[in-house]
Amino acid sequence: MNRSSLTVKVARLVQRFPFSIFRFLEWPFLFFSQEKKYNFIILLAPPRSGSTLAYQLLCHAFESHYLSNFSHLFYKLPYLGGWFSGKSCNNYSSDFSSNQGFVRGVCGPAEGLHFWRYWIGCGLDESENKNDEENLLLQKRKSYIQSVIKTLGKPDKPVIAGYLGHLVCIDKIKLTFPSAIIVKLYRDPVENALSILESKRKIDSEWFSVVPEECDLEDINEYSQVASQVYWLNKKMDKLKGERVLSINYEKICEHPDKVINHVAEFCNSFNFKMQIKSNLPESFFRKQKVENKDVAFLTEEFKKLEDRFGCLENDSSWN
């Protein structure tokens, strides 16, 4: 099953139903059981950086609420969708397979484009994510989803999100969920760009996924476009600092997933989470090695041009 399958097409039709008319059913739960802080973990990552693998690993390793394919189906009823998903997917065990970021199954972790665009106005194109301060309806939605996250998330069962679009609306995320823990995922920039390039060619698309505002989509060759996309998305991650921000590395996930998960747990628990690792983890994951060819050479040259002009990337990893 993938995004073009009949099941997914039917699910998208179901999503159009106005489930918001039943939102009053959620109000008693939000009123009586709201926590005082956000037990919320947000994974930030560029596309094709290992984001889906990292998201699956977090949901597999820890007891958590996460946006499953089931709860995304009912994204306009976020508390009830999250609660039912939490009950039915409580013992989620991932096979760590995906198709262009899509994880099959009702309990498969979903990125949640419709969810996050609806609730906080965060789409995949950065230029469309601004100037919503006067949108009173969106402000009400933000307040509502804050209550949902506070109510669902517990220290021993936090909410985990892994939406690529969060990387182009970081300010919104910080303002809406000020005490969330943010996990930044880094991957070798050339390998990351190469993976995007291969995906673009595979689906024969002019653009792939997240669009940072610094990128010029016209009059630019495919190497410049992809390198620019990865460079500016990494720049946004580099700028995000703070005591509740953790950096992890895709290469290390592939080599030692257990060590990375233990590191995440220790970091979160230092902020009064009570996270325990619930599942046996794979010893390692296959990682496609970079082969020196013309694509790698052209991408390397494009990154050099960008770094000479705008500064080097940190490719930060706070844990060695």
Q: Average of pLDDT values for 128-155?
A: 88
pLDDT band at 299 (very low <50, low <70, confident <90, very high): very high
| pLDDT, tens only, 87-125 | 989 889 999 999 988 999 999 999 999 999 999 999 999
Reply yes or no on whether the pLDDT at 4 is more than 80. no
Contacts of residue 97, Cβ cutoff 8 Å, sequence gap at least 6: 103, 104
Find, among 59, 62, 58, 84, the residue nearest to 73 by Cα.
Answer: 84
Q: Average of pLDDT values for 52-79?
A: 95
pLDDT band at 318 (very low <50, low <70, confident <90, very high): very low
pTM of the model: 0.92
The dihedral through the CA atoms of 13, 15, 21, 25 has a sign that is positive
pLDDT band at 129 (very low <50, low <70, confident <90, very high): confident
Find, among 103, 102, 288, 66, the residue nearest to 209 by Cα.
Answer: 102
Domains (range + CATH), the chain: 6-188+243-283 (3.40.50.300)
Residue pointed to by tokens 């947000």: 42
**What is the residue-averaged pLDDT of the chain?**
89
Structure tokens at 307: 């770094």
| pLDDT, tens only, 222-259 | 999 999 999 999 999 999 999 999 999 999 999 999 99
How confident is the model at residue 15, as a pLDDT? 60
